[in-house]
Amino acid sequence: PRVAVIVVAAGSGTRLDAGVPKAFVGLDDHTILRHCLRGIFEAPPMQVIVVAPSGREGDALTDADEAAGERRDLVTVVAGGSTRQASVAAGLSALWGDIEYVLVHDAARALTPPDVFDRVIGALEAGAAGVVPVMPVVDTIRQMDGETIVGVVDRSRLSAAQTPQGFPRGILEAAYAAAGEEFTDDAAVVAASGHAITTVPGDATAFKITTRADLERARALVSPLPH
């Protein structure tokens, strides 16, 4: 394949506080990681690099093998680092030689539909240096000074960034090699190297499972029963 996806799954899930690393929390019979990978294996074939919590590589490989089926040769599992950025860097080191485009995806966005992947890859093939799926911001956002509101931000000028974010391989590798500080996401790392970032429509179901409420929402979405 010409495309690889780095699935970062090495976080501990502090805010979810489920007693196990977030990627291994169950939605139904299957974990967050397994659901995330199921969606990825419905997209066109890609090299799939799963970045697992150190010591949990075997569990990640089990989930990946089950989700991959006949595509299991596409899967590599590596251990992550102490920050998301370090985990992405670990994933970059496992890219195959012929890969031209790299997507970086949060395992915690377990229900991301395959067409978001299609849109990101399409924008890369059209020449983008960086692609971010975005959603409009629905809440009114206020600028604060301590506990006092000092302004309302025009939400038509805001959007919420999702993953998978996609980049030409050389651009992403060079930006990571140059990144001296922590950035909020991969597009910010690449933008800091001076590249323009384009957007494609995201999807409401690509929300990140961060809190207990998010977990309940994801569980309801995969439940076959009325609720």
Question: What residues make contact with ligand CTP under the rule CB under 6 A?
Answer: 8-15, 22-23, 51, 80-84, 87, 106-108, 208, 210
Nearer to ligand CTP, 12 or 205 (CB): 12
Query: CA 183, CA 86: separation in Å to the nearest integer?
Result: 11
Query: CA 195, CA 6: separation in Å to the nearest integer?
Result: 21
Which entry of ligand CTP, Mg ion, none binds 82, CB below 5 to 8 A by partner kind?
ligand CTP
Which entry of Mg ion, ligand CTP, none binds 208, CB below 5 to 8 A by partner kind?
ligand CTP
Amino acid at the residue 69: G
Query: CA 185, CA 22: separation in Å to the nearest integer?
Result: 19
CB of 104 to ligand CTP, least distance (A): 9
Position with the least CB separation from ligand CTP:
11
On whether the CB atoms of residues 167 and 131 are closer than 8 A, the answer is yes
Which entry of Mg ion, ligand CTP, none binds 56, CB below 5 to 8 A by partner kind?
none
Q: What track of x and - describes contact with Mg ion for positions 7 through 26 (by CB under 5 A)?
A: ----x---------------
4 Cβ contact partners less than 8 Å away, ≥ 6 residues apart: 46, 47, 48, 49, 95, 96, 99, 101, 102, 103, 169
Nearer to ligand CTP, 14 or 156 (CB): 14
Nearer to ligand CTP, 143 or 184 (CB): 184
Position with the least CB separation from Mg ion:
11
Report strand pairing: 75-79 vs 148-153: unpaired
Residue 36 in 3-state DSSP? helix
Which entry of ligand CTP, Mg ion, none binds 108, CB below 5 to 8 A by partner kind?
ligand CTP
Which entry of Mg ion, ligand CTP, none binds 54, CB below 5 to 8 A by partner kind?
none
Residue among 102, 56, 107 nearest 84 (CA): 107
Q: What count of other Cβ atoms lies within 10 Å of the Cβ of residue 194?
A: 9
Amino acid at the residue 217: R
Nearer to ligand CTP, 83 or 223 (CB): 83
Contacting positions for Mg ion (CB under 5 A): 11
